[in-house]
A and B are shown apart, each in its own frame.
Chain A
Amino acid sequence: MSEVVLPDDPGLGQEVQVDYPGYRSTRLRAPKRSLVSLPEELHPLDGPVFGEDTIAELDGDLTSQHSGEPLGERIVVSGRVLDEDGRPMRGALVEVWQANAAGRYRHEVDQHPAPLDPNFSGAGRVLTDAEGFYRFVTIKPGAYPWGNHENAWRPAHIHFSVFGRAFTQRLVTQMYFPGDPLFPFDPIFHSVRDPKARELLVSQFDLATTTAEWALGYRWDIVLGRGARDTTPLEEQPS
């Protein structure tokens, strides 16, 4: 097969390369035709508004959803959801899902021969606060093998889904951990071919949110696109 990981190419821009050949499942799924542009004035449609009733009490703490604590390294993952102008996105719905510490998802399709953890479901969701902050308590997910190519392993990651205000701000992505030795071999990570943009997928160890005698902190900010018509700062909008 072709190279699993292509060389960096910042000239391709900050977006992910949708037809990245090293990720085999793109071959029959990445659209081939050029995307059709929408007139600029039609871009910024209002998105759904999610209220507190979307969130259950323990949705932000993935280590407290069962009778016992999950195995693994307890971590705190937090950061801000911002737009491209640096404005905080208040009340943004942030949903996460992840493998357990052994690298196994609680999903019937996952056949990795690693143990499930009866105390870990691997899903959470929160709304960002008035300054755009989110915070999850979880365990560090394990790396796991996948069938993309010979001896293929995914770097440890947490899946994130984020709703901003506008249709164009919808984002589904993955957060990685700093210094992962699997980075050079992962085609999904490298499908962002601008190294500066790719770096935005990697969280940073953060001593400020590390809790003494309890959990390491990782910090990861999420930047959504502009909602062009929405020039009113969120702080001034009625909630």
Chain B
Amino acid sequence: MKTPSQTVGPFYAIGLCRSNEHELVSPDDSSAIVLRGELLDGEGASIVDGMIEVWQPVERKWGRCGTHPDGTFSFVISRPAAPAGEAPHLDIHVFARGLLKHQRTRMYFPDELDANAADPVFAGLGEADRARLVADREDGGLRFDIHLQGARETIFFST
């Protein structure tokens, strides 16, 4: 039997944000892409005590970022290699006070239309849900907001 999950609570930064871990590649690298987003609750309020982890499994790259006082987070990523049979994407874990178990989602890239359409996870969703998993372009980088609830609730995957 697995050890159950419990919330990360409001004070996770003591243990989990002791160093700067939000850059998966150097910002000076030619492949660097700035990813920004905001974590929001069911009333659209910013979540200021959440934490986001992003994984690029093929490259075994990983990073995390606690949400800032305005609910935003940011990463410096590179375009991930595509896992076999899938489109390039980021795997994302979402943690927060009030989340008793972390949630998993994926972020796909807006300029990978063909690869996205052939991706078995992406293609298995309805059109509106697919759109929620694709980042927007913003200021030369990418934007991916995460809504825990509400009309724009993010697509979360079971583990």
Contact A36 to B125, CB < 8 A, known contacts A23-B98, A29-B41, A47-B60: yes
Q: Is the CB of A159 within 8 A of B12?
A: yes
CB nearest neighbor in A for B158: A35
Contact A170 to B12, CB < 8 A, known contacts A36-B125, A37-B158: no
Q: Which residues of A contact B99 (CB under 8 A)?
A: 18, 26, 29-30
A17 to B100, CA, bound (A): 7
A6 to B6, CA, bound (A): 16
A149 proximal to B (CB < 8 A): no
Q: Is the CB of A26 within 8 A of B98?
A: yes
Q: Is the CB of B14 within 8 A of A173?
A: no
CB nearest neighbor in A for B125: A36
User: What is the CB-to-nearest-CB distance from A23 to chain B, in angstroms, rounded to a whole number?
Assistant: 7
B27 proximal to A (CB < 8 A): no
Q: Which residues of A contact B97 (CB under 8 A)?
A: 25, 29
Contact A31 to B153, CB < 8 A, known contacts A172-B102, A173-B3, A201-B3: yes
Which of A47, A97, A197, A198 is close to B15, meaning CB atoms less than 8 Å apart? A97
Contact A15 to B101, CB < 8 A, known contacts A30-B148, A96-B15: yes
A37 to B125, CA, bound (A): 11
A16 to B9, CA, bound (A): 15
User: What is the CB-to-nearest-CB distance from B140 to chain A, in angstroms, rounded to a whole number?
Assistant: 27
User: What is the CB-to-nearest-CB distance from A66 to chain B, in angstroms, rounded to a whole number?
Assistant: 15
In residues 6-52 of chain B, which contact A (Cβ within 8 Å)? 6-16, 18, 41-43, 45, 47, 49
Contact A42 to B11, CB < 8 A, known contacts A172-B5, A201-B3: no
Q: Which residues of B contact A223 (CB under 8 A)?
A: 1-3
Q: Which residues of A contact B156 (CB under 8 A)?
A: 31, 33, 35-36
CB nearest neighbor in B for A54: B19
Q: Is the CB of B57 within 8 A of A47?
A: yes
Q: Which residues of B contact A1 (CB under 8 A)?
A: none
A110 to B103, CA, bound (A): 25
Q: Which residues of A contact B91 (CB under 8 A)?
A: 45, 167
A87 proximal to B (CB < 8 A): no
User: What is the CB-to-nearest-CB distance from A185 to chain B, in angstroms, rounded to a whole number?
Assistant: 16
Which of B7, B121, B154 is close to A39, meaning CB atoms less than 8 Å apart? B121
Sampled A-B contacts (27; CB under 8 Å):
A14-B1, A14-B4, A15-B101, A16-B5, A16-B101, A18-B100, A25-B7, A31-B153, A35-B156, A42-B86, A43-B159, A46-B60, A48-B61, A84-B1, A84-B2, A97-B14, A97-B16, A107-B10, A123-B14, A161-B8, A168-B159, A170-B53, A172-B7, A172-B95, A172-B102, A173-B5, A224-B3
A sample of 20 more A-B contacts (CB under 8 A), given A167-B55, A200-B4, is A15-B4, A26-B100, A28-B41, A28-B45, A29-B96, A29-B98, A29-B148, A32-B153, A36-B156, A39-B120, A39-B121, A42-B83, A42-B121, A46-B60, A47-B60, A97-B14, A109-B49, A121-B14, A197-B1, A201-B4
